[in-house]
């Protein structure tokens, strides 16, 4: 059984001051001509003596400069000129056709089409308009959506003649909260709860450092997440999805991670204390695989003798991609005796990982090459001493092979002290959004119990 509660709210841009991209997408209400905002003149800001220091000027956001797109050209024409125009029709750009030909097809005089195109040049690359592009046109203007998702409008102004401008499509953001109990798989639970694929993929990536979804999930474990969807108000299409909170109640263990945008360029996931969700190494550097042999004493499948198995085996079809468990430098990549095709990565002075029996080593993977965490380094095979396609995976701590599934691994970075206050305010906003749904929340329970010293967990 899945318990689920969804709720939609509209977020103002002030809710998440650190998320720069949100503000950039804030729709703008504009009623006049699309004129650039005057830049503040620093000289006027200082009536007395000139000063030596440079004042950083806030760069005006595009969304505050550009007008808001309308659904129709007719609406835009009315908004810009206060006048009505004729019937509006939609044309599709044919193969081998240019904008000029299309406008002629729409009934424009040759000179009119040329003047309109002249105004559009510089707003959009007219050479690369895709075949099939939808162009809405009236006798006094036309509009289409450019590659960057913005709308280009061209309007015949009764006084100024043809002018063209870029308009921002109105986008609204909706937050959804979802929680549910996992019966058998997180994928099924997510699908029953209508969680969008990009949010689920991000959830699994973030949780994947702490949890093995194929092996650790027990019936009755519960998940919760808060995600945002950006919806084009003209077409109704979802144009972006963003996960903001990922929580999991796992056999009594509680995990909760918050997305944090450091400066608009770097995003990380952290628990409420600011510790990164990321670990320096991934325990399962392959997806969709089944654990076929664990670490420890076993009867060897080929020799028949009991021996120590100093790695873990993941059975997977030949050709399944294998990723680097962490960032580092390749120290071995090639045939390695009974290991078959083998790769070893040195992550730092303490940790190494090794991958064996590959069918193929990825291009560019050779000793000395640098790899990033998650980069594909090779493909599952059955080379060397192996009875079927699988990945034999080892984690080495100071050159000693340890159990990859249980070794304690260092976390990634921590929120820098100077950003902690800002991070905590984001955490509080996310918490408030989720608590507003009226649900008992795992992370909130954790918060209450850690603050009062009493345990409220069931």
Place of tokens 């129709």: 72
Q: Are 457 and 445 in contact (CB under 8 A)?
A: yes
Compare residues 105 and 300 and give the one whose CB is closer to Zn ion: 300
For Zn ion, the binding residues in 255-314 under the rule CB under 5 A are 311, 313
Q: Considering only CA atoms, which of 325, 364, 363 is closest in space to residue 345?
A: 325
Q: Which residue is nearest to Zn ion (CB)?
A: 392
Given the complex with Zn ion, which of 224 and 313 has the nearer CB atom?
313
Question: 43 vs 302, which CB is nearer to Zn ion?
Answer: 302
| Least distance from Zn ion to the Cβ atom of residue 318, Å | 16
Distance CA 395, CA 401 (A): 6
* Token output for 380: 């599952």
Does residue 394 touch Zn ion according to CB under 5 A? no
Question: Residue 393 phi/psi, 5° resolution?
Answer: -120, 135
Per-residue exposure over 106-135, b if at least 16 CB sit within 10 Å of its own CB, e if not = bebeeebbeebbebbeeebeeeebeeebeb
Q: Which is nearer to Zn ion, 274 or 340 (CB)?
A: 340
Among 259, 392, 426, 441, binds Zn ion (CB under 5 A): 392
**Please, which residue, 26 or 313, has the CB nearer to Zn ion?**
313
**Shortest distance (Å) from residue 295 CB to Zn ion:** 9
- Closest separation in Å from C-beta 390 to Zn ion: 7
| 259-296 as b/e: b if 16+ CB within 10 A | bbbeeeeeebbbbbebebbbbbbbbbbbeebeebbebe
- Least CB distance to Zn ion at residue 385 (A): 9
Over the window 312 to 351, marking each residue x when it contacts Zn ion by CB under 5 A and - when it does not, the resulting string is -x--------------------------------------
Closest approach of Zn ion to the CB of residue 392, in Å = 3
CA gap 315, 122 in Å, rounded: 55
Residues 11-50 that bind Zn ion (CB under 5 A): none
d(CA 433, CA 176): 9
Can you spell out the DSSP letters for 86-120? ---EEEEPPTT--HHHHHHHTT--HHHHHHHHHHH
Determine the size of the site formed for Zn ion (CB under 5 A).
3
CB 408 to Zn ion: min, Å: 22
**Shorter beta-carbon distance to Zn ion: residue 170 or 311:** 311
Q: Which is nearer to Zn ion, 176 or 386 (CB)?
A: 386
Q: In terms of CB distance, is 103 or 356 closer to Zn ion?
A: 356
Classified as helix, coil or strand, 322 is: strand
State the minimum distance, in angstroms, from the CB of residue 299 to Zn ion. 13
Q: How far is the CB of 296 from Zn ion (least distance, A)?
A: 11
Phi/psi for 152 (5° steps) reads -105, 125
- Residues lying near Zn ion in the complex (CB under 5 A) are found at 311, 313, 392
């Amino acid at each position: 059984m899945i318990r689920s509660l969804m709720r939609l709210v509209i977020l103002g841009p002030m809710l998440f001051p650190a998320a720069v991209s949100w503000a950039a997408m804030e729709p703008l209400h504009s009623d006049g001509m699309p004129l650039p905002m005057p830049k503040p003149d620093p000289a006027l800001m200082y009536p007395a003596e000139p000063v030596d220091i440079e004042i950083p000027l806030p760069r005006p956001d595009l969304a505050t400069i550009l007008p808001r797109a309308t659904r129709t050209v007719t609406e835009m024409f009315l908004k810009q000129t206060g006048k009505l125009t004729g019937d509006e029709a939609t044309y599709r750009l044919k193969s081998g056709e240019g904008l000029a030909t299309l406008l002629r097809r729409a009934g424009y005089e040759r000179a009119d089409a040329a003047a309109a195109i002249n105004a559009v040049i510089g707003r959009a690359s007219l050479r690369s308009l895709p075949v099939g592009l939808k162009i809405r046109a009236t006798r006094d203007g036309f509009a289409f959506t450019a590659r960057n998702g913005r709308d280009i409008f061209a309007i015949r102004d009764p006084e100024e003649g043809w002018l063209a401008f870029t308009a921002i499509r109105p986008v609204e953001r909706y937050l959804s909260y979802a929680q549910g109990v996992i019966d058998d798989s997180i994928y099924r639970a997510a699908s029953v709860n209508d969680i969008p694929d990009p949010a689920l993929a991000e959830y699994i990536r973030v949780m994947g450092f702490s949890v093995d979804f194929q092996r650790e999930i027990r019936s009755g474990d519960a998940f919760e997440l808060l995600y945002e969807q950006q919806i084009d108000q003209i077409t109704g299409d979802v144009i972006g999805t963003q996960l903001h909170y990922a929580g999991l109640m796992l056999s009594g263990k509680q995990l909760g991670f918050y997305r944090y945008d450091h400066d608009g360029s770097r995003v990380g996931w952290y628990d409420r204390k600011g510790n990164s969700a990321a670990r320096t190494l991934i325990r399962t550097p392959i997806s969709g695989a089944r654990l076929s042999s664990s670490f420890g004493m076993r009867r060897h499948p080929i020799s028949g003798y009991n021996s120590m198995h100093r790695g873990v085996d993941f059975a997977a079809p030949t050709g399944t991609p294998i990723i680097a468990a962490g960032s580092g430098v390749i120290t071995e990549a090639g045939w390695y005796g009974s290991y078959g095709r083998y790769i070893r990565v040195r992550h730092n002075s303490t940790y190494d990982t090794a991958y064996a029996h590959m069918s193929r080593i990825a291009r560019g993977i050779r000793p000395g090459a640098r790899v990033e965490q998650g980069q594909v380094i090779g493909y599952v095979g059955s080379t060397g001493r192996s009875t079927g396609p699988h990945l034999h995976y080892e984690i080495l701590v100071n050159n000693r092979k340890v159990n990859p599934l249980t070794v304690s691994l260092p976390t990634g970075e921590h929120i820098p002290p100077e950003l902690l206050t800002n991070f905590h305010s984001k955490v509080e906003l996310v918490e408030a959004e989720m608590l507003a749904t009226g649900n008992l929340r795992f992370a909130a329970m954790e918060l209450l119990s850690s603050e009062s010293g009493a345990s409220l967990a069931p």
